[in-house]
Amino acid sequence: MWCKEEGDDLLLMVHVQPGAKRTCVAGIHGEGKDARLRIRLAAPPVDGKANADLLRFLAEAFAVPRSAVLLLRGEASRQKTVRITEPRLRPDKDWGA
Q: Which of 61, 6, 21, 19 is nearest to 37 (CA)?
A: 61
Task: Specify the pTM.
Answer: 0.94
| Structural element, H or E, at residue 72 | strand 69-73
pLDDT reported for residue 96: 65
Domain 3-89 fold is: Conserved Hypothetical Protein Mth637; Chain: A; (3.30.1200)
pLDDT digits (tens, 9 = 90+) for 47-79: 999 999 999 999 999 999 999 999 999 999 999
pLDDT digits (tens, 9 = 90+) for 5-47: 999 999 999 999 999 999 999 999 999 989 999 999 999 999 9
